[in-house]
Amino acid sequence: MSNAQLPQMRLVEPNKTVRIGERKIVRIKRAQDIIETIAWSIVMAVLVMFLLDGGLKGITDIPSALGAISRITSLLGTALLLIQMLLIARIPWIDKFYGHDGATVTHKKLGKPVLYFISAHFLASLIQYAINDGKNVVDELFSLMSVQDLLLATIAFVLMLVVVVTSLNFARRAMSYESWFFVHLTAYISVAVAVPHIITTGSDVAGKPVQTIIWVALYLFVFLNVLWFRVIIPIRKSYRKQLVLAQSVRESSDTTSLYLTGKHLKKIEAVSGQFYFLRFMTPTQWWRPHPFSISAAPNGEYLRFTIGDRGDDTKLMQSLKPGTPVAIEGPYGLFTEERRTKEKVVLIASGIGIPPIRTLAESMAARPGDITVIYRVRNAEDASLLAEIREICKRRGFPLHVVEGPRGNKNSWLNADGSNNPDTARLTIMAPHVSEADVYICGPQVWTESVIKSVRKAGTPLDNIHSEEYAW
């Protein structure tokens, strides 16, 4: 597109109807219960197989006790590790019920138990072998590493340590998303190189056909899900859509909208509020996916993403040349009207959190006054997509509150208005029906948590509060 062909703001027809009611929440929770029951059943099955195989009967001394510890921690750690990998693999049947951030939070929680189990397995095995061979642990370690499968297992353990340590909060805060992503690619490598020693030397698997079949099936299930949904589907989808960057449009001093065009865009799967992982196919960017919400409801003509300057990669993306090919993975996310259960809706955004809020305001089924929009900005003259959200609210009859300026105090998510009223009181003035509404919140994590506290104090049930971050 040339500048003369820059698309004017194109609004899609809003949804005509939407199914509301608490039954939606009940169905989702039932599905989650089924998934979690299956997951814990796998863990329990591992424990039962260990006990039925006489896991505790052979304990007669310290080495045999260490052997039992080594076996059970290996089995439990591996089972949890496979579950953990599924959670972070962006599998649609998981994303549908938990969302990307929900799955990622659970993935993080499993990180420490996995590390503890695998560390206990490694240390118990090493000490057991050292006692049996009459060696110190250092000599025994080098002796074991002369066996190829055990050498690979040791490498896998070290790689896993790196992954878990870089997942801890202090490490993640010090790392860019790009560095974190590169390090976490080693998680797949660590699992792959650990497999041979489980099959060939693991006393709970080696030489036991039933256990071998079960473990091979579990590994294949995880591997095929990752291969299909993380590799094959994105490649096929990107090849079919053949998306390219058509034009970049500056929206504010630190945000730019990227318009992508391609083939079969009328059949795009995304709905308002969802996001994609984008790979810009340049020599330095092609291997690094980045999550961005669509910033205009899918219209069959283009896909639009509005990107804020939040680091080296996002700065580079704002200066990409038209014609740059783009690979996509997704769509993902539960920040959609599908989660809506009430007639009234409050949409709250801050900064670069405006794209999904803007698309929801554009496409949600609603009568005038049903939806209230609150947009928190530093400076209204330099706020991304503000003109668009104003036009949408004007056309659809939605109250819009642009909250501009510095914070009222360090714990406030609102601006200083001179009233000294608490955030909850000001919120209920702007959105009197907030306690009986679905509330969608998108913005920086700390800010979002502050908004949620106000919304809860205003009386909104937790199940009616929807927020989603690009968790990593």
Q: For residues 132 and 437, what is the distance between their CA atoms, to the nearest angstrom?
A: 66
Query: CA nearest 206: which of 79, 117, 74?
Result: 74
Give the pLDDT of residue 287.
77
Residue 282 has pLDDT above 70, yes or no: yes
Q: For residues 276 and 289, what is the distance between their CA atoms, to the nearest angstrom?
A: 9
Structural tokens at position 96: 């549908």
Residue 4 has pLDDT above 60, yes or no: no
Distance of CA 443 to the CA centre of its chain: 15
Structural tokens at position 75: 């089995």
Structural tokens at position 226: 């990752």
Residue 363 has pLDDT above 80, yes or no: yes
Indicate the domain borders of the chain. 23-234, 242-332, 341-467
Confidence of residue 50 (pLDDT cuts 50, 70, 90): confident
Confidence of residue 7 (pLDDT cuts 50, 70, 90): low
Residue 130 has pLDDT above 80, yes or no: yes
Q: What average pLDDT does range 331-354 have in this prediction?
A: 94
Structural tokens at position 346: 């409050």
Confidence of residue 182 (pLDDT cuts 50, 70, 90): low
Q: Answer yes or no: pTM beyond 0.95.
A: no
| DSSP SS3 for 209 | helix
Gyration radius (Cα) of the chain, Å: 26
User: In which region does residue 376 sit, left (phi positive, over 0), alpha (psi from -120 to 50) or beta (all else)?
Assistant: beta
Which of 97-101, 117-121, 269-273, 399-403 holds the top average pLDDT?
399-403
Residue 268 has pLDDT above 70, yes or no: yes
The pLDDT mean for the chain works out to: 87
Distance of CA 259 to the CA centre of its chain: 24
Give the pLDDT of residue 105.
82
Lateral strand order in the sheet of 325-332: 290-293, 275-280, 325-332, 243-252, 255-261, 303-308
Q: For residues 200 and 245, what is the distance between their CA atoms, to the nearest angstrom?
A: 50
Q: What average pLDDT does range 109-117 have in this prediction?
A: 86
Residue 338 has pLDDT above 50, yes or no: yes
Specify the pairing of strand 303-308 against strand 371-377: unpaired
Residue predicted with more confidence, 107 or 299: 299
Residue 265 has pLDDT above 50, yes or no: yes
Q: What average pLDDT does range 216-223 have in this prediction?
A: 89
Q: For residues 323 and 53, what is the distance between their CA atoms, to the nearest angstrom?
A: 61
Return the CATH number of the domain spanning residue range 341-467. Answer: 3.40.50.80
Residue 204 has pLDDT above 80, yes or no: no
Percent of the chain with pLDDT over 70: 90
Q: Are 100 and 471 in contact (CB under 8 A)?
A: yes
Beta pairing partners, 56: none
Confidence of residue 65 (pLDDT cuts 50, 70, 90): very high
CA distances from 190 to 5, 169, 228, 230 (A): 50, 22, 20, 18
Confidence of residue 147 (pLDDT cuts 50, 70, 90): confident
CA angle 444-445-447, nearest 5°? 70
Give the pLDDT of residue 347.
98
Residue 422 has pLDDT above 90, yes or no: yes
Confidence of residue 8 (pLDDT cuts 50, 70, 90): low
Q: What average pLDDT does range 160-185 have in this prediction?
A: 67
Give the pLDDT of residue 183.
67
Give the pLDDT of residue 461.
95
Residue predicted with more confidence, 305 or 103: 305
Query: CA nearest 311: which of 188, 216, 131, 181?
Result: 181
Return the CATH number of the domain spanning residue range 23-234. Answer: 1.20.120
Q: Are 299 and 293 in contact (CB under 8 A)?
A: no
Give the pLDDT of residue 206.
67
Distance of CA 219 to the CA centre of its chain: 22
Segments in 134-176 forming alpha helices (H): 137-144, 148-165, 169-174
CA distances from 445 to 448, 449, 452, 468 (A): 5, 6, 11, 9
Q: What average pLDDT does range 247-251 have in this prediction?
A: 91
Give the pLDDT of residue 22.
82
Distance of CA 416 to the CA centre of its chain: 33
Residue 184 has pLDDT above 60, yes or no: yes
What is 242-332's CATH superfamily?
A: Translation factors (2.40.30.10)
Residue 200 has pLDDT above 70, yes or no: no
Contacts of 417 (CB under 8 A, 6+ apart): 408, 426
Confidence of residue 108 (pLDDT cuts 50, 70, 90): confident
CA angle 271-274-280, nearest 5°? 110
Q: Are 340 and 18 in contact (CB under 8 A)?
A: yes
Query: CA nearest 251: which of 396, 354, 364, 119?
Result: 354
If one counts every other C-beta atom within 10 angstroms of the C-beta of residue 265, the result is 16
